[in-house]
Amino acid sequence: MRILVTGGAGFIGSHIADALVSRGHRVVLLDALLPQTHGRQAPAYSSGHELVIGDVRDADLLGRLLRDVDAVCHQAAMVGHGVDPSDLPEYAGHNDYGTAVLLAAMHAAGVGRLVMASSMVVYGEGRYTCAEHGVVSPGPRDPAQLSRGWFEPACPRCGSALTSGLVPEDARLEPRSGYAASKLAQEHLAAAWVRQAGGSVWALRYHNVYGPRMPRDTPYSGVAAIFRSALERGEAPRVMEDGRQLRDFVHVRDVALANVLALEAGVAAGGFVPLNVCSGQPHTVGELAEALSRAMNGPAPVTVGGARAGDVRHVVASPQRAESLLGFRATVGFDAGVAEFATAELREPAASAGPAVVTSSSAAGD
């Protein structure tokens, strides 16, 4: 197959491109090289692929690129927790308007197969069970309680303690940040496109992705990169809350494999299929900090309390549907993956390397 990978020079997109080529597929990469996640020029690891520098919101450019394409792997997005609500227009512009332009261009070009990067953030909090009321959806945590060190959400009906479990794909969707809302809007746009145009979409809900080529030292970096940067400065990683918040840390090569399997699987049954892409082996944020400190022979993490607005307590997922429908199973273990990440190549964003000229705008990778 010939596949267009948007965000193809980014963290996840570049690994997908490499994996596709290793399996005999042809790729064309589209990336705008935004300074939040890129240096001044295309990364060296993209040099072996056909790379077009441009914006996924450029309908004319997409029309040209889609002429000889069998499927699209859509990774271009503005990612991360962001700074504050002033980021909202950027998230909506890059993620939602960009996806709308892409879907319209695919329809015009007659390209009906899409694999897209979604995220576990669409769930908000994960799956919780109350001993009395069964599965419940807790509301946002009370800032006053967070300030007192009460981090666990309570049952919204009786106030009792809850038990955290694995969230399935049919769980209630309740995004709690601008980025999360934009990812859910992407899913809604893609599902509407399926109903109107008869296309096929695999929406891959990534959990906490880490690994080589992560962007570093920006407000949009993942927690693994933030911890590593601190350790490289000789500082202890600063862990928020009590460090016991659960996440599923999945290696970028496993995420790339899930994308390849979805592209090779063909049409998604029912048209639109969301899938959790995770390791199936949850760990706490504190465990990640400890493992990385050991791997880098650095200072032990420091737990600092507090919580960012919009953060959730626990969100870990069931990998069963992805295994059943795609045959996907994560292969990189937590200890081995973190040990590799301790010395892996990361990317310096242009924003931290001095001023640079930006001619187009669409972030790459989730």
Residue 361, pLDDT > 60, answer no
Write down the pLDDT at residue 126: 94
What angle is formed at CA 318 by the lines to CA 315 and CA 322, rounded to 5 degrees?
Answer: 125
Q: Is the pLDDT of residue 359 over 90?
A: no
* CA-closest candidate to residue 366, choices 55, 169, 81: 81
Average pLDDT over residues 99-127: 97
Active site residue 179: yes
Mean pLDDT (whole number) for 233-241: 97
Residue range 71-75: mean pLDDT, rounded: 98
- Average pLDDT, stretch 108-122? 97
Cβ neighbors of 233 (< 8 A, separation 6 or more) are none
Q: In sequence order, what are the beta bridge partners of 50?
A: 28
Catalytic residue among 91, 123, 128, 179: 179
- The pLDDT value given to residue 140: 87
Q: Which pLDDT value is given to residue 222?
A: 84
Q: Answer whether residue 164 shows pLDDT above 60.
A: yes
Backbone angles phi, psi at 211, to 5 degrees: 145, -175
Helix/strand/coil (H/E/C) assignment for every residue in the chain: CEEEEECCCCHHHHHHHHHHHHCCCEEEEEECCCCCCCCCCCCHHHCCCEEEECCCCCHHHHHHHHHHCCEEEECECCCCCCCCHHHHHHHHHHHHHHHHHHHHHHHHHCCCEEEEEEEHHHHCCCEEEECCCEEECCCCCCHHHHHCCCCCCECCCCCCECEEEEECCCCCCCCCCHHHHHHHHHHHHHHHHHHHHCCEEEEEEECEEECCCCECCCCCCCHHHHHHHHHHCCCCCEEEECCCCEECEEEHHHHHHHHHHHHHHCCCCCCEEEEEECCCCCEEHHHHHHHHHHHCCCCCCEEEECCCCCCCCCCEECCHHHHHHHCCCCCCCHHHHHHHHCCCCCECCHHHCCCCCCCCCCCECC
Indicate whether 281 pLDDT > 80: yes
CB 156 within 8 A of CB 129: no
- When comparing pLDDT for 241 and 353, which is higher? 241
pTM: 0.92
Closest CA to 51 of 350, 344, 364, 346: 364
Region of poorest pLDDT, from 225-234, 265-274, 295-304, 329-338: 265-274
Which pLDDT does position 39 carry in this prediction? 63
Q: What is the pLDDT of residue 40?
A: 65
Q: Which of 172-181, 256-265, 350-359 has the lowest mean pLDDT?
A: 350-359
Mean pLDDT for the stretch of residues 244-266: 97
What was the pLDDT predicted at 82?
63
Model confidence over 75-100: pLDDT tens digits? 999 887 666 788 899 999 999 999 99
Mean pLDDT of 292-311: 92
How much of the chain, in percent, has pLDDT values that exceed 90?
79
Convert the pLDDT of each residue in 172-215 to its tens digit: 999 988 999 999 999 999 999 999 999 999 999 999 999 999 98
Flag whether pLDDT at 247 surpasses 70. yes
Residue 353 banded pLDDT, cuts 50, 70, 90: very low
pLDDT at position 313 over 70: yes
